[in-house]
Structure 1
Amino acid sequence: MSESAGSNPIKVIIVGAGLGGCAAALAMHYAGFEVTIFEKIRKFDRLGDSLGLGENALRLLARWGLHDQLIKIGNKSEDMQIRRWNDGTILAVQPLMDMAGYIGHRGDYHDAFLERVRECGMVINMGHKVVAFDEDKPSVTLEDGREFEADIVIGADGIKSQARELVLGFKDAPKSSGYACFRAYFKGEPLKSIPACAPLLEKDCVNIWIGHDMHLVQNTLRDGEEFNWILTHKDTADIKESWFQPGDMDEVRRLVVGWDPMIVAAVEKTERCLDWKICYRDPLPTWVSRSHKIALLGDSCHAHLPTSAQGASQATESGAVLAICLKLAGKGNVPLATRVYEKLRFDRVRQAQLNGEDVRDRWHTVLKTVDDGKDIDPDDVKIKNRWLYPFDAEADTYARWDEVSSIVRQELASGTITPLFDPKVGPARKLVRYDAFGRQIQHDFVHEPAVPAPTAVVG
C-alpha cells in the first residue's frame, strides 16, 4: 500500500472508461488512491477490430493483474510477413512483437480491462455524462446536475475530448491527414471454401501488403475463426471522425484490382466494411489545465496513427507515469505531479507517433522506384518499434523524478510553464534516442515544423 493510502487517500476522478481510462484506473488503484470513473456510454458493444498491446504495456498490466487474460485473446503468430502488393512476394519477415505485440479484437481487450477494473472493486458509473468541469476545485458536473470533487480529474475521454477543450481553452478541430482506412472484421468461415485464402486460415497470421500510396494489413485470429483486414489509402473527402461510417465495398474492390489474388479473394468475399477517415491534430502545447488539476491522457492528448501500433500501449504508460507522479508528489501537491507527468511523457509519445508516420510513408513509397521482381533491402520496409518495448514507464519515472521535478518546481514558482509544443514556431526540444534495450543513449535539440505532418490519430 502506498504512502497516499489510508484514511485520506488521493481522490481521483477519471472521465472515460475506454482502454486508457481503465489503464489509468488500475494504475491509480495500485498506487492506493480512491478512484471514481464516469462513462457517458450506457453499455459498451464489441466495437472496432484489431488492436495491439506491446511488451511495454503488458509489463505494466501484469503488475495490475491483467496479463494472462490478454495473452489468451491475442494473435498467436510469431511472425508477420510484409509482401509486395501485386504478387504477394515476401519482402521481409519480422517478429510480430516488433509490430504491435499481441493483436486481438479491440472489444475483447476492452472487456478484459473493464472486468479487471471491477475485480479491483472500482465502480464504473455507466451512462454518466460529464457536461462541465471546474478546474479549480477540481470537479465534474454530470448531466443530471450532480457535482463531484476530487484532488485531480483525468480526462481520458477520447479523441473528441471535452476535457481537452478546457485544457486548451479552445476547440481543437480535427484536420484531414489525406488518408482513410477501409476496415472489416468478420467470421472466417465463408473464406474456408476459397482455395486462394487457405494459407490465411490455417492458423493465426499477420500479413501486410504494401503498394503505391496504399497498404493492407490482414490479421487472422482463433485459427481462422475470425478475420480482419484494414486497407489504408489516399483520401481527400470531407473530415468525419466516426467509427461507424459504412464503407463502399465496390470502391474497396476497385482499389485492390491487380493485387495479390490471395488477399483479393478475401476482399471479394467481404460483405461490408467501415470507412474511417484518418484525422490528426497538432501536438498540444500542454496536457494540463491552467490550475494544474485536470490532466489529459490517451487519445485526448496523444492519439496515434494505426501504423504506430502503440495507441493503447502509450495510454497505459501514461496512466502508470501519472500514478507514480501523484504518489511521489503527495496529496497536497497535485500541480507538481501533473506538470512532471506531461514533461516525462511528451518526447516518448511524440517519437511513437512519428514512428507510425515513418512506416506508413516507407510502405507507400519504397516500391515506386523498384521494378517488379527486383529485390529490396528488407530493412527498408520493417517496422522500427523494437526500441519502445524494453521500456519500464514506472522505473523511468522513479529514475527521473528528482531531475524533472526540480525543473517543474522552478516553473511553478515563477508562474511560467514551458509549453510542450509551440504551434507558431515549432518547439526546440530534446529528441531522445534509445538503444535496443530501451536505454537512452543520445539526445539532440531539434525544431519541428510549425505545421507538423499528420501524426496524432485515433488508432
Structure 2
Amino acid sequence: MSQHVLPRPEDPARTRVIIVGAGLGGLACAMAMHYAGFEVIVFEKVREFLRLGDSLGLGENALKLLKRWGLYEELIAIGNKNPVMNIRRWDNGGIMATQPLMDMAGYIGHRGDYHVAFINRVKQLGIPINMGHEVVSFDEDAPSVTLRDGRTFYADLIAGADGIKSRARELVLGFSDAPKSSGYACYRSYFKGEILKDVPECQQYLKEDCVNIWIGEDKHLVQNTLRDGEEFNWIITHKDTEDIKESWFQPGNMDDVRQLVQGWDESIASAVRATPSCLDWKICYRAPLPTWVSKSGKIALLGDSCHPHLPTSAQGASQATESSAVLALCMKLAGKGNVALATRVYEKLRFDRVRQSQLSGEDLRNRWHNALKHMQDGEEFDPDDIKIKNRWLYPYDAEEDTRARWNEVSSKVHKELDSGIRTPLFGEDGPPRILTVRDAYGKVKDVAQSQSSLLTSLTV
C-alpha cells in the first residue's frame, strides 16, 4: 500500500504524522491525528494480523474518546455483558467481594476482536496501514523513517507506538532499555468453551458471560467467559524467577500449571486441568523513562513503548488511547512548526497520570496476594481491601484536561526550550520518589517507593 504514499508530504502546509506500529495504541493515535486534521501514515512490520492474545479491557476514559472518533457501538458489542465480577478464595471459591465489572476494566473482550474494530475504523477514515513495512532506522532531525527495503519517508512528527521492544525508545533514550525479571509470570490460556462441556464442576461459568477472580498467597487467577460461554479465558499470575527471553508466545508447561492449582477451588481447577495448552508470559520491569521525546522533539513515544502496564491495572489500552488524544491535541494547539513544544507538553501532561495508573496495578496485585496472609495474622477482613480501585480513572477527559492545562504547561516548556535545560520526567531532579495511588473514591494515598519498586513491574 505504501507505493501510493509520497516520501514527502504532497501539501507542505499540512502536518504529516508517521505512526510506527499498528497495535491498539498506534491505531488510536491514527484516529486522533486524523480528527486533528493531519495527514496520517501507519507502518507495521507484521504482514498479517491474527486473532492473538486473550482478554483486554477498555475503560470509560478511553471509550469517550473512541466515541468521538466514530468507534463505539462495535466495541460495546464485543465486551463482556455481566454487570459484576466476583473475587473468591483460592481454596473453596467462597466469594470475598463483589463489585461492578466496570470498576475493573470497563468492557472486557478479546484483544483480537478489539484490534479488528480499530483496524476497520482506521481504514474507513482512509488512513493507509502499510503492513509488512518494517522501520529499521530513524532520523530525528528530518524527521524521517527508513524501511528495510531502503525507502525513506518524511513527516513533521513520528509517533513510536512500536510496543515493548520499541526501536523508537532506544533512539529517544540513547541506549537499549533491557528488561529485568520482576519475579512474577502469567500462565494464560484462551480456548473454546466446548472443551469444558464434559467437566461438570465448571458448568456454572459456561452459561453466560462472567468474570471471577481467585486470590491466594502470592498468586491469583482471573477467569473470563465471553459470548455466553463460547469462549473461555484464564490467567494465573504467580511467583517466578526463571529468566527466559521476553515473548508473547512462549509455550507453557501444562503439567506445571496443573501442579500450581492443586488444592484450589475445584470449579476452576477442573477447568485448568482440562485446558489443552497455555502460554508462559514472563512479567518484566523497566524503570519509568526520563523522557518520552527525542532530543529534537520530533519523535514521541506512546503506549507500551513508554508506559506499559501490569495486567492487574486493566488500563494499558485505555492509557494508550488517552496518550494518543493528548499528543494529537498538543500538536493542534501548538500549530505548524512547533512540534518540540507539542511533544514536550504532551509528556508532561501524561506522565503523572500514567504513573499512578501503573502503580494502581502493582498495588492491586500486592493486595490480592497478601489478603489471606493478613487474615491468618488475625487482622479483620474488609472486602474493600481487595476491590479494584480503578473508578477514579474514568471521569477524566484527556482532551478537556489538555485544553485546560495547555497555557500553564506550554509556558513552562517554552522556558525549557529557551534555556536548553530539560527537566526529566523521572529520575535525578525529576518528580519526587513519593508517588500516589488513588482509592476507589478518588482519595489519594502516598506510596513510598523502595529502590525495587521504583523499577515497577511492567508487562511484556
TM-score, scaled relative to structure 1: 0.94
1:200 offset after TM fit, Å?
0.5
Q: Does 1:345 align with 2:347?
A: no
1:442 offset after TM fit, Å?
7.6
Aligned with 1:159: secondary structure? coil
Among 364, 373, 380, the alignment partner of 2:369 is 364
CA distance in 2, matches of 1:429, 1:60: 31
CA distance in 2, matches of 1:12, 1:312: 21
1:458 offset after TM fit, Å?
3.1
CA distance in 1, matches of 2:441, 2:276: 44
CA distance in 1, matches of 2:124, 2:441: 34
Aligned twin of 2:432: 428
Q: Does 1:105 align with 2:131?
A: no
Deviates more, 1:325-334 or 1:239-248: 239-248
Aligned twin of 1:394: 399
Among 389, 392, 397, the alignment partner of 1:384 is 389
1:427 offset after TM fit, Å?
3.4
Deviates more, 1:121-130 or 1:195-204: 195-204
Aligned twin of 1:73: 78
Aligned twin of 1:57: 62
Among 230, 234, 244, the alignment partner of 1:229 is 234
Aligned with 2:99: secondary structure? strand
In the alignment, is the contact (CA less than 8 A) between 2:170 and 2:176 conserved in 1? yes
In the alignment, is the contact (CA less than 8 A) between 2:359 and 2:437 conserved in 1? no
1:306-321 alignment, distance < 5 Å: 306-321=311-326
Distance 1:123 1:437, change over 3 A: farther
Aligned with 1:366: secondary structure? helix
Aligned with 1:61: secondary structure? helix
Q: Does 1:408 align with 2:409?
A: no
Give the aligned CA root-mean-square deviation in angstroms: 2.1
Deviates more, 1:364-373 or 1:424-433: 424-433
CA distance in 1, matches of 2:240, 2:355: 24
Deviations 1:299-350 (A, max 9, x none): 0000000000000000000000000000000011000000000000000000
Instruction: Name the % identity.
Output: 71
In the alignment, is the contact (CA less than 8 A) between 1:53 and 1:100 conserved in 2? yes
Among 84, 87, 98, the alignment partner of 2:89 is 84
CA distance in 2, matches of 1:433, 1:275: 29
CA distance in 1, matches of 2:452, 2:376: 34
1:181-330 alignment, distance < 5 Å: 181-330=186-335
CA distance in 2, matches of 1:366, 1:442: 21
Aligned twin of 1:159: 164
Deviations 1:373-409 (A, max 9, x none): 9972101100111100111000000000011001000
| Poorly superposed stretches of 4+, deviation over 6 Å | 372-375, 432-438, 441-444
In the alignment, is the contact (CA less than 8 A) between 2:311 and 2:361 conserved in 1? yes
Deviations 1:198-242 (A, max 9, x none): 111111000000001000000000000000000000000014211
In the alignment, is the contact (CA less than 8 A) between 1:27 and 1:319 conserved in 2? yes
Distance 1:430 1:67, change over 3 A: farther
1:430 offset after TM fit, Å?
8.5
1:452 offset after TM fit, Å?
3.2
Among 154, 162, 172, the alignment partner of 2:177 is 172
Which amino acid in 1 is paired with 2:318?
S
Among 16, 28, 43, the alignment partner of 2:48 is 43
Aligned twin of 2:3: none
1:371 offset after TM fit, Å?
4.2
The number of aligned residues is 450
Aligned twin of 1:26: 31
CA distance in 1, matches of 2:166, 2:160: 7
1:368 offset after TM fit, Å?
1.3
In the alignment, is the contact (CA less than 8 A) between 1:391 and 1:437 conserved in 2? no
Aligned twin of 1:455: 456
1:190 offset after TM fit, Å?
2.1
CA distance in 2, matches of 1:226, 1:372: 39
Aligned with 1:356: secondary structure? helix
Aligned with 2:459: secondary structure? coil
Listed as ranges, the gaps of 5+ residues in structure 1 are 1-5
CA distance in 1, matches of 2:270, 2:438: 42
In the alignment, is the contact (CA less than 8 A) between 1:284 and 1:301 conserved in 2? yes
CA distance in 1, matches of 2:216, 2:378: 14
CA distance in 1, matches of 2:445, 2:402: 18
CA distance in 2, matches of 1:430, 1:27: 33
Deviates more, 1:193-202 or 1:92-101: 193-202
CA distance in 2, matches of 1:372, 1:263: 27
CA distance in 1, matches of 2:254, 2:421: 53
1:450 offset after TM fit, Å?
4.8
1:1-12 alignment, distance < 5 Å: 8-12=13-17
CA distance in 2, matches of 1:270, 1:436: 35
In the alignment, is the contact (CA less than 8 A) between 1:207 and 1:219 conserved in 2? yes
1:9 offset after TM fit, Å?
1.9
Aligned twin of 1:333: 338
